[in-house]
Every structure is written in structure tokens, then in C-alpha cells.
Chain A
Amino acid sequence: MWNILGKCGALLLAASLACLVGLGWLKIASAQQKSPALLRSPRSTTDSVPISLSTPDRIEDRTWWPTAGTPPRSEYVGTAECAKCHYAKVTAQMKTEMAHAATRAADPAFLDGQPQLRFRQSPYDYEIGRTGDVVVESVSDGQSSVSQPVRFAFGQGLVGHTYIYQTEGSLYESHVSYYSDIKGLDVTTGHLQSQFAGLSQALGRLLEPQEAQKCFGCHTTASTTSNHFDPSQAMEGVTCEGCHGPGARHVRSMMAGQIARGKASIFNPASLDAGSSVDFCGACHRTSGDVLQLNVRGVVTVRFQPFRLEESRCWKSASERLTCVTCHNPHEPLVQDATDYDHVCLRCHSGGQPPVNDGQVVCKISRTNCTGCHMPRVEIPGMHHAFADHRIRITTDKETYPN
């Protein structure tokens, strides 16, 4: 009897231990899915605050950096090639907002669910709609009208879309954009004027070549190659090669079995120190160096998340420095539930105890939703959207935008 009980007890104990191990593994795997950097060693344990550089300086200093336009077009292979070996990661990345930072008008999903958009800014009436394969933007002043076929929409739709059209070899930014929060058109951010010399001006704003190159540089991949800007050759959105650099050499080496060479010929942002890592994302999201050079101040800077993060005490005084990938996985869609980020905060702000310990009070106000208070959402006038301010801080009711 006792032998049977002993054996059962042993089996029960083993099963229990197995469950515990399994649960532990699941917890780690789940956490890793949220943030691949969570279990990685801190990038820097020095007391020195990393120095942020501007993106042009980063490009100048390195063989590869996002938005660099020097590699030739022939060195880009496209995501389908990447997916042959990295299928899971590629298919996940293709669902991200960054992957949809730009859409060609020919794409059937373009204006999906929005067959006809209208907007009036007296005396002008705007309309954006699809006719077959063509999406057209038009403006009328009641007497005559002007139309142009839209080439691209910039923006995945979380905030909205801005439309790009081309005429006589020049690119234009539409005067009106779609804003998701209002489910309709309004004046494009930055377009302050309401009086125009003619309908052509009312339709949109000319993008000078340097400006257009920068817009496409972030919203597409390989729009500039061999230092030549040609949007017709661009891959829509931020694809694998938008961050990791052109993949042709990597593919050739790996296919030839030259593993070490293959790994060396593709850029791995995980190898960057904390300061460089944040500047890496800042190539499009604006580094502190970029903001310094631009001399931009005010509430518009809330959109420059790397810059705002580096204004935080979490950045300046942390021994284990927050980077963008501490909270965000660039291969996965943006996590929208604010409480999903609590465990990251509690890594440092729980006195070393396991997170969300019932017996421990970390905050007098709340047990969850750290970012709701400490990263308040700020709306930029005219954008119909509130952005989370990445300058992490203790907020007060009457504070003005810390600049």
C-alpha cells in the first residue's frame, strides 16, 4: 500500500514540478514575445549618459544606418527573400504599423472602407475617391476643378493618411489628409495657409526634391539608392531591409554556407549600445541630435519619441537604460493596451521584488497602468490624435508641456 502511495506521491510530485517548470517557461516565453530585450543584459551599466547624434552624422559614421541612400538597388532583395529563412519574423513584421507606413494607390486596400471622402474649406471643396484602379484627389472652387491621381498614401491609419501625388515630374503633398479619430478629412498638419493663388496650389504643396527624399526615406525602403532618389523603385513601408540594410550579400553568403560572413554582412541593431540603439530608431522618429539641429520646440516634439525618452530620468540616471526595444518589439504590431507595459516599469520600480506583489505598494494612486499617468497623452493641435509623451515623469495637474 505504502509502496503504491509512495510511487503515486513521487509521480504526483514529479508532475507538479513539471507543471511549475512549464508554467515558468510559458511566462518567460510570453514576456519575451512582448519584448525581446527584456531578458537581455543591460546595454550599459556606466553612469555616463549616452550622447545622441543627429541622423546625418550617424549615416556619415557608418556603413549602414536607416535612411542611408548609398547602397545600390541591386543589393536589396525584398521581404519575400527574407521570408525563405525568417518566415515567422517576416510575417509578423508585415503586420506592423511600420510595414504599412506607405501604400501605393494601386493597392486594393488603399481607401478600403472609405470609398469617397469629402471636405470643405471655403471656398474649396475637396474629394478623394477611387475609380477602378485609380485614386483621384480633386478640388473645386465652385467654378472649376483640378484633379490629380494619387500615387501614395503615407501612414498606416492609426493616426491617418496623407496623400502624395505627382505631376510634371514633381511630387506634392495633398492639402487634406484623412484622420482616423474623426474618420474624415481635414487640413494636413503643417499646411497653415487657407488662401491660394489657384486651384493647383489649393490641391497640395510642392515637395522639394530634398524634402521628398526624406519623406520617402522613412516611409518606404530603398527609395534612394546609389544616392539617387527614385520613388518608383521604392518598397512600400519599412521592410526588413529598411532597418537591417540590403540583404543580397547576406543571402549569397548564407546560401553558400558561409555563415560567419553571412552574419557579418547584415546589420543587427541588437548589437548597438543604448545610445546608438535609441538613435537608430531616431533615424525616423528623431534623435535628440536631430531635434537640436532642427531647433524645434513645443508640443510638436511629442512625436519625436527617442528625443523625449532621452529627456527622461529613466534615461539620464538609470544604470540599466531604457531603450525603445525595452518596451516595443519592432517585429510585432504595437501593443495598444497600456497595462501591458507595467511589468517593464516594475523591473526597476519595485525594489527588486517580483512585479505586482499584492503586499507591495509601488504607487499611491494605482496598481496598474503606469503609462497612463507617467507618459501622458498629448494632442498636437490639428492632428486629431494624442501621442504618448515618452518623457517619462511624475506629472501634475497643472503642468505645461515640459520642453
Chain B
Amino acid sequence: MKNERNPRRELFPAVSRVKPKWFYAAFLVSLIPCQIPFSHAQGTAASSTKPSPQISPDHLAEEAQRSLASGKYAVAERDYGQLLKLGIRSPSLYSNLGVVYMKTGRFDQAIQVFLNAKDLAPNVAGVRLNLGLAYFRKHEFKQAASYFGDTLTLDPDNLQARYLKGECHFMLDEFSDAIASFEPLEKMEENDLEYLFMLGTSYGMLKRTDDSLRIFQRMVEAGGNTPHLHLLLGKAYLALGQNTNATEELSRAAAGEGIPFAHYYLGVLDRQLGRPELASAEFEKELQIDPTNASAVRELAEIRLDQADPRSAIAVLEKGIAKNRDTPELFVLLGRAYLQVSNQAGAISALKKAIALSPEVGSYHYQLGRAYLKAGRSADARAEMERARTLAAETPQGKMQAFTGDQGPGSATDGSH
């Protein structure tokens, strides 16, 4: 099962807002050569057909390139598809097509063609970087880190790969590896607040207090007295369990008009401290600032469910889903809320939507199984439970959900927990 409640991801829910979009895409453009003469391309005789005399492969490739550069992705995709039908095979063709898929949010397809490019060009660093980016966008940080590592093996000076590798390790709570990736970049990233946040938090999690304080001080110098700085500091203190400092910084971030996520993290803190009413108020304020904040919707709905108020939870979720149709967690919560009001049909429908969005998450199948059970559909329930178990067995070693409040073995007892 995916680790949907990774605390690091909750503290850093969005892809960097500081780094420009090109940072995650520049490698793609730079990889594409202007033109690869088709006499050098690898083709398969069996699949090759003679091009139309009106449109030569070279011309088609140029057109595709222009379409890609100008954002006409459908046209570019069509043209690259045509080249493939002509039997043209080249690393750049696959990479270009992968770019199209990335631009249009089809990361699985991008990965597939990038892998084809890798097979043809195994020692090209940019292809590995492509793959890393595609997995990164899917939030599959383990895979992404591996490909960024490969990139650095082929190109040790690739700063982008080093930064992104560090980010992956941070998201995976692998703080030693994150520090190892980030430290060489300290000089050039000394004004990048989010870099400093990740590095400082990583130091803090490893109890390297002096280094942590040094980096946080650098954040203050670089960030000035801005809400964004206070938000990042607040998140860092929250991650390190320094609740008083976290409250202070987050309150500063939330002061005045406030910025997105300031009230959200104050709510997270209140909830951790067992103050659900205060937490609710913070999440509601967050949603006034940013009605699309799915994390705030989720937290607020969970509080309502904890308070045995499923109808209120349903209202919150239905409103939230209207603005976040691609967030499976909200559909799962909606399913749970529907079950509490004995609306099994509604629950099944909501949970199926969650699974359609993320079919590989075992706990979603478990919840659907539970809904089927309540609806009296035992055979369907059993199938879903079995699917949940299969998915759990297929995932790599699970991690203890130490930050979800549910501890596994933690104390010396007589085997009772």
C-alpha cells in the first residue's frame, strides 16, 4: 500500500513553489537534439514503410519539434506517432514523445517511452533524468531517487539531479541521504528557502542541532520577515516537535491576510495536541483562503467523523470534492461517512471512484470491501479484501505510521501490542 499519510509529504504537500516550472522540465528540452538524421536512426525493416513523398521523415520531425516547442502537444503527439509507424526508432524521438506525455500529465506513458529511450541510449544522463522526473511527478520518490542517482553516476555535475535526489530522500524521511545530496549545493542554494527548509529539517531530524539552527538562521536572513519564511520555519518546527516555536511562526504566517497552508498547519498542530475544536476553526479559515486545499478538507472531515457527526463530514467532503475531483482520499472519507449514515450505495460509489483514481492502494480496497460487507455482498467483500492483502504483500517493506498516532510495537509488554 502507498504511504498516503507520509508526514513529510503533509509538511511539504506541493511541489516546490519557489523553483520555476522549467526546473522540472528544462532537462527535457535540453535533451532534444535539433534533428537526428534518419540515416542514423535505428529502424526495423519489418515495420518500416516508405514515407509519403509529400512529407519526409525529416520534415515530419521538424514539424513535431516546432509543435512541441509551441505547446501544440496533440499535433506533436500525432507526428511522433507517425514517425514511429514509419519504423523510426531513436532515443530523441522517444524522449520527445515522453515530453509530450509529461506535458499532458500522462506520466505512466512517459515512463514507458523514456524506458525505450534508455534501452537505445543507456549511457545518456538526460534519459535517466527524464525517468527520474516522471517518477517524481508521480510521487514515486524511491524510483525517482534511483534514477537521479543514475544520472549523477553518468554526470556528477548535474545539479538538477542532485537537488531532486535530495528532495526525494527528504520526502521518504531518508534524512542522511537527503543531507548527502543537499550539502554540496549549499553555497549556490543559500537563498532558496525551500532548499534551506529541507536541509534544516533534515539536520534537525538527525539531532544535528547546531547545523539545523545555522540553516534556519540562514532562512531568516534570506527570507526576511515574510509570511512564506514564517510558514517554512513553522513547518520545520512542527516536524521537529518544537510546538511552541511552531505555533509562533505559523501564527506570524497566518497574520493579516495570511497565506495558504498557514492555518492548515496550525490546525494540524492543534489536532496533534488534542484540540479538535481549535483545529476545526483553523481548517475552516484555511478553506476560506484556499477552498481547493484538499488536505484541509480531509482533516476537517476526519474531525467531524471523530466527533460522530457524519452528516457534517459529508457536507464538508461533497463541497471539497467539487473542487478536488482527483483526490482519492476525499472519496474514501466520503465512503466512510456514507457508511456511518447507512448509505451503502453511496459509499460503494464513492469508494469505487477512489479506486479508479488510485487502484494500487490496498486500504481503499479494504474500505470498499467493508462497504460491500455492510451491503450484504459477501462475495464482493471477500474479493476486495483479498485484493487489499495482495497489494499489501506486493509493496516494499512498509513503514510504521509513526506520525498517524497509531503505534505498532513500541513498549516492552507481554506481547499485547
Contact = CB atoms under 8 A, between A and B. Distances in A.
B412 A294 contact: no
B412 A295 contact: no
Nearest to A155: B413
A107 interface: no
Nearest to B243: A206
Given A53-B370, A292-B392, A178 B207 contact: no
B104 interface: no
Contacts of B274: 208-210, 229
B405 interface: yes
Nearest to A310: B389
Contact of A51 (B339, B340, B385, B401): B385
Size range of the chain B interface in the assembly: 35 or more
Interface string A45-60: 0001101111001001
B381 interface: yes
B414 A159 contact: yes
A247 B367 CA distance: 33
Interface string B199-236: 00000001101000000000000000000000000000
A292 B411 contact: no
A294 B413 contact: no
A292 B416 contact: no
B207 A155 contact: no
A34 to B, nearest CB: 20
Given A293-B366, A295-B401, A300-B409, A305 B415 contact: yes
Contacts of A16: none
B366 A295 contact: no
Most chain A CB within 10 A, of B207, B273, B393, is at B207
Interface stretch (A78-86, A185-193, A341-349): A185-193
Interface string B390-401: 001101011111
B237 to A, nearest CB: 13
Contacts of A159: 412-415
Interface in A185-206: 188-190, 193, 195-197, 206
A49 B382 contact: yes
Interface in B369-396: 369-370, 373, 378, 381-382, 385, 388-389, 392-393, 395
A300 B318 CA distance: 39
Contacts of A97: 414, 416
Contact of A292 (B366, B414, B417): B366
Contacts of A206: 241
A219 interface: yes
B383 to A, nearest CB: 11
B410 interface: yes
Contacts, number: 151
A101 B414 contact: yes
Contacts of A209: 272-274
Given A173-B410, A177-B411, A292-B388, A284 B416 contact: yes
Size range of the chain A interface in the assembly: 35 or more
A162 B409 contact: no
Contacts of B373: 51, 53
B37 interface: no
A188 B369 contact: no
Most chain B CB within 10 A, of A188, A196, A286, A292, is at A292
B416 A218 contact: yes
A295 B414 contact: no
Given A284-B417, A285-B417, A48 B382 contact: yes
Given A195-B207, A292-B366, A294-B406, A218 B417 contact: yes
Interface string A213-234: 0110011000000000100000
A380 interface: yes
25 contacts: A51-B378, A101-B416, A154-B412, A156-B413, A157-B414, A159-B412, A161-B412, A177-B411, A179-B412, A189-B411, A196-B207, A197-B209, A209-B273, A214-B406, A214-B407, A285-B417, A289-B366, A292-B362, A294-B400, A295-B362, A295-B401, A296-B398, A380-B409, A383-B412, A385-B412
Given A53-B373, A211-B407, 10 more contacts: A98-B416, A154-B413, A159-B415, A160-B412, A208-B405, A209-B272, A211-B405, A292-B392, A295-B3, A305-B415
